[in-house]
Structure 1
């Protein structure tokens, strides 16, 4: 308790606390190039997804020496692009929502406005045994025309939309836990319960559930209402989402080009050290005197045994991986990391030798088959897609089946019969097949997760940690299950590190 009181009363610690509370104060500090004694310090960022690269970029802008370590051969994580032969596909994220404040700041700083390609009035055909209807990814008055909605649910939908729109200023779409202050029950209720209570069961089954199953591979009874409550107020009345010219990975590539990024550098462990640790980047050991002068240091050991040291470490890997990397975590870290869960996503991409019309279909729950999202993408050689492509995303149940049967590397066998029935001459025209298995697609904000995460951020931002410098964490599991949320968490992680350099 004495340490907390001392930190709060110290002028530097007060400034650090102001940085955490006030983004404008942080912006001024970031632009302040007057280095404190011994420089602004050094940081290692583990993971080069949008969260890690954003954190690294903001710290680099503030004058810190930053190194980013990436286990894979390319940057971007789940916001990247991949290619196998003539098949081009995303590593995870496919769209950008317009409401990401941190992401929009990043786009402005990097002068990348011209890479945003607007997609307006994005819809899909929702298919069921009884017929099909159009479903909108951005809700509007046209949603009232959804077939099968009872009149009372149509009235409830209008009332609900007005309430959601009025709450726009009270929730942050990049921070799921922001909805807790407005509605504490949102963290305790499942999404299914919330929608049934707020609108009705038919709206859940024909409007909400298909979107979550087909775009996010989630069933609404597995999630709390936090994602919905924090994002929908910012979607109502909007009609545009974006994709990125040059691929979803272009922003991460632009960031990496401004930073010291080391790919093919898997990390074995992260540890906060009190004593001198050898820094084998140049074969020399850090002296005890230098370590003592600079305070506690952090050591990152690579899988080849190389040890790198820095004043701070930001862990930007998926939360379920971080627990295996961080040595001697404090109780708050350990309990948080043990609570992180992800869903899995399975996709099969087919190259097709014949042209097909563009289409996107979502399957209603209970429809026969294992495909939740079916999309035909015409060839676009100028955009690096020489073949017609067919995108087939597995239902959550089929993804579970693939895991149980050991078919995660051969998802195609689960879908062939369904596609043969759907497309005449399918086998004859398929020229390429790529099975894509993403074991950690999106973090699961299950009921109760938000309250735990809220407490974790309070712990992480506590100025009492300035001297001991524990690892700082960021990523979608700490913020929101969106790339804009991951970006916001990286900016916030940088703010924590910079606040510690002020003490």
Structure 2
């Protein structure tokens, strides 16, 4: 870029991990960046805090390690020496009034053979899996709901007792609505290329055994919590000259010549390009004037709400707790909580910091169950304790608790979601100097959101205006 030409200015709207990743990537290429966040902090669904003096995650607590975007960004901002795998990966499913070990050798709950689910399913459910080899192939077309397809091939019990709680832990959604192509693409491709779903899963397992998957831990956390990652990225952005403004909601976007006008509640900023890293409803409102077709598509994206109930107990009061990392709860069993994580077991950094305390958390809320989150904090604690008592015999009262509500926190990926995303991106591409990123588009996990932000940044950097720099008003 010519030293006499002002550095192009990109405004990133939204300070979640996708927006932060986009800003970090843009600054590395010499672009001037202003990041605008409506709330009083950056990080979105990544948030750390304390309970009774113990550092904990109050949002997402781990990231997929076999995708390198998350661990790579952590290393890039100086957190490489704090990456830490779970101390235990042993978990359970609380179903049919008992904690049952999470089976091995499955793909998002779908087994390669019935024996993998022995003890979890009824004898009838296991027999139904064996019947799959007698079924004709099932066409899936361009997309299909995970639950509907697996139930047709292997029976509803596989879906209700295992696929549903596993998917619910990721999307807080309904397995019978969630797109297999979007949520479990590996399974979708296996189903398309094999007449038998069991054969497809066995093929996935065989390729994994042959070493075609990266070894090492499946998930990774950070000493001090995944919630510390956004702050570290924000510090790196500021160190490179980026401007991060919290409590600065964006009220409007409009094209201005070759650039953009970004209107906040305080001022209007000129920019050469804009990256929208906001939830779908916010992006829809901001794009109504400049890309009405994309705005309309974004307006149809639905969300699920959930709450996390984090509790600290005197360790002496919780003797007899299971050794594993926690358990999942199938909706079919009619419980209030959908999962519990034994944080002091799962994370060495929590155990080291907790001393004589034992920390755990429960999650409440699935798609369509927003009324559960209308309860008072104390009610959510009480229903969590009741379910924990039934599941693991816990009778102690917590010495402290923290309830974190994530209203409309997780976008839903119904059948056809990827086609909708493609239509949105096609429309956005028609508007010069504009890109979108975040959990709506490429996956809800941390590495996927980071990759989405980095993709948006790379595409912005490749646009003609930024590639050659600008002397226009927006670049001043």
Smaller-chain TM-score bracket: 0.7 to 0.9
**Correspondences of 1:45-444 after superposition (within 5 Å):** 45-86=12-53, 88-107=55-74, 109-110=76-77, 112-119=79-86, 122-129=89-96, 131-136=98-103, 139=106, 144-147=115-118, 148=121, 149-150=125-126, 153=129, 184-186=141-143, 189-230=144-185, 237=208, 240-259=218-237, 260-274=242-256, 295-303=257-265, 305-326=266-287, 328-355=289-316, 356=318, 357=321, 358-359=323-324, 360-378=326-344, 383-386=352-355, 387-396=357-366, 399-403=369-373, 405=374, 407=376, 411-419=380-388, 426=395, 429-444=397-412
Change (3 A) 1:136 1:315: farther
Structure 1 runs of 4+ with >6 Å offset: 140-143
Write the distance in 1 (CA, Å) between the matches of 2:128 and 2:388.
Answer: 39
Q: d(CA) in 2 for partners of 1:473 and 1:409?
A: 39
Question: 8 Å contact 1:123–1:136 — kept in the other structure?
Answer: no
The separation in 1 between residues aligned to 2:409 and 2:382, in whole angstroms, is 22
TM-score by length of 1: 0.72
**Kept in 2: contact 1:35–1:63 (CA 8 A):** no
Residue by residue, what CA displacement relative to the aligned partner does 1:297-346 show, whole Å, maximum 9, x if unpaired?
Answer: 3233333x233222112111222233344462322221122122211112
SS class of match (1:258): helix
Q: What is the CA distance between 1:85 and its match in structure 2?
A: 4.7
User: 1:112 deviation in Å?
Assistant: 4.3
Contact 2:252/2:264 (8 A) holds in 1:
no
Partner residue of 1:19? none
> Once structures 1 and 2 are overlaid, which stretch shifts more, 255-264 or 46-55?
255-264
Secondary structure of the 1:63 match is coil
Aligned residue pair count: 418
Aligned counterparts of 1:416 and 1:104: Cα–Cα separation in 2? 34
Closer, same or farther: CA 384–45 of 1 in aligned 2, 3 Å: farther
Q: 1:323 to 1:362 in 2, by over 3 A?
A: same
Q: What's the counterpart of residue 201 of structure 2?
A: none
Q: 1:490 aligns with which of 453, 458, 467?
A: 453
- What SS does structure 2 have at the residue aligned with 1:300? strand
> Unmatched 5+ residue regions in structure 1?
1-33, 160-181, 275-294
1: CA distance between counterparts of 2:65 and 2:453? 18
CA distance in 1, matches of 2:279, 2:103: 30
* CA spacing shift, 1:385–1:136, aligned 2, 3 Å: farther
RMSD of aligned C-alpha atoms? 3.5
User: Unpaired runs of 5+ in structure 2?
Assistant: 191-203, 469-476
Is contact 2:283–2:295 with CA below 8 Å preserved after alignment?
no
Q: Give the CA deviation at 1:124.
A: 1.9
SS in 1 for 2:85: strand
Contact 1:137–1:211 (Cα < 8 Å) also in 2: no
- Structure 1 CA distance for aligned equivalents of residues 131 and 80 of structure 2: 39
Deviations 1:448-484 (A, max 9, x none): 222111122233335xx33xx3x42110101112111
2:410–2:444 Cα contact (<8 Å) kept: yes
